[in-house]
């Protein structure tokens, strides 16, 4: 926890200190000393975390103020950086944050909801061969995020099965000997060293926006909590050393690894993974669903 806290404070200093952004020198020692001193003078871990989060959110707010000057009211909230992201390089640290952004009254269902993604690369080598702190912002509305999530679901499944936001349900067949390669409803799903047989139930389909992602795959939960959750679409089970990838746009590719969604940013040559809990929070936020379901 302390290591992550120090990394977070370092990233904040790099992101939002004018000297850090514009200086071509090495500020690592100064930043590290400042971070350790802040903790040493009596700031508690909880207080330091709150200060760090507020600083990161301030950077996002400043981005909105600059790029959306006609928005009279907005709110921006950082998705938890300690539980939501992985894949940091100790040798050349980069940082990845996601924010829930609301234009208008946060309590109104008519307010527009967006997702902000920020990538910060302190040691980026520019076209002139010098180091600089490079920051990339990406913005997604609900429709754009759902299209991305659909591409990821198909990637993790192993082939295209979710189409136009609709996901069919697959049921596991106990006897793999019943597999018929000519039957289009039969799917062999990779399970480490072997495969499981699943049969498509064409009578049951679900909106992708109403599903949650967990280590087993996509699940559906009763909004009222009265019925048990159901596994709808199983994901391929691959080792931690295996990766599925697919190009998504000119900026990044989608990656499936260690049962999690990953982004490989091409210019920065960095991969970041978002834990399923954060993906679900984003899905529920953009699709106006409650945060409640915890998975099978």
Q: What are phi and psi of 28, to 5 degrees?
A: -60, -45
pTM greater than the 0.75 cutoff: yes
Neighbour-count burial of 45, counting CB atoms closer than 10 A to its CB (0-12 exposed, 13-18 middle, 19+ buried): exposed
Rounded to whole angstroms, the Cα distance separating 190 from 214 reads 16
Rounded to whole angstroms, the Cα distance separating 252 from 270 reads 10
What is the per-residue pLDDT across 54-105, written as a single tens digit (0 to 9) for each? 888 999 999 999 999 999 999 999 987 654 444 443 344 678 889 999 999 9
Distances in whole angstroms, Cα of residue 26 to Cα of each of 31, 253, 261: 10, 31, 33
DSSP 241: T
Show pLDDT as tens, one digit a residue, over the chain (296 residues): 555 555 555 555 444 443 333 332 333 333 333 344 455 545 555 666 677 788 889 999 999 999 999 999 999 999 876 544 444 433 446 788 899 999 999 988 889 999 999 988 777 666 666 766 778 899 999 999 999 999 999 999 999 999 999 999 999 888 887 888 888 888 888 887 778 888 898 788 999 999 999 999 999 987 777 778 899 999 999 988 999 999 999 999 999 998 999 999 998 888 989 989 899 999 999 998 876 555 55
């Amino acid at each position: 926890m302390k290591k992550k806290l120090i990394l977070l404070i370092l990233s904040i200093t790099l992101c939002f200190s004018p000297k850090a952004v514009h200086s071509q020198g090495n500020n690592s020692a100064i930043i590290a000393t400042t971070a350790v001193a802040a903790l040493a003078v009596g700031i508690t871990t909880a207080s330091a975390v709150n200060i760090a989060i507020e600083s990161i959110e301030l950077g996002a707010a400043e981005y909105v103020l600059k790029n959306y000057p006609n928005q009279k009211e907005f709110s921006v909230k950082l998705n938890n950086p300690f539980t939501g992201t992985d894949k940091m390089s100790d040798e050349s640290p980069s940082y990845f944050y996601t924010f829930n952004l609301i234009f208008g009254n946060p309590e109104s269902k008519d307010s527009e909801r967006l997702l902000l993604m920020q990538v910060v690369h302190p040691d980026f080598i520019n076209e002139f061969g010098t180091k600089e702190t490079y920051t990339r912002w990406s913005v997604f509305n609900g429709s754009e995020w759902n299209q991305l999530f659909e591409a990821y679901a198909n990637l993790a499944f192993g082939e295209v099965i979710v189409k136009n936001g609709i996901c069919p349900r697959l049921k596991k067949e106990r006897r793999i000997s019943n597999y018929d390669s000519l039957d289009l409803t039969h799917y062999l799903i990779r399970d480490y060293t072997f495969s499981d047989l699943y049969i498509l139930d064409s009578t049951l389909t679900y909106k992708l926006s109403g599903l949650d992602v967990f280590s087993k795959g996509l699940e559906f939960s009763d909004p009222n909590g009265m019925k048990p959750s159901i596994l709808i679409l199983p994901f391929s089970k691959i080792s931690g050393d295996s990766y599925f990838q697919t190009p998504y746009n000119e900026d990044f590719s989608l990656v499936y690894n260690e049962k999690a969604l990953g982004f490989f940013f091409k210019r920065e040559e960095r991969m970041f993974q978002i834990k399923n809990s954060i993906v679900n929070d984003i899905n529920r936020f953009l699709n106006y669903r409650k945060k409640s379901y915890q998975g099978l």
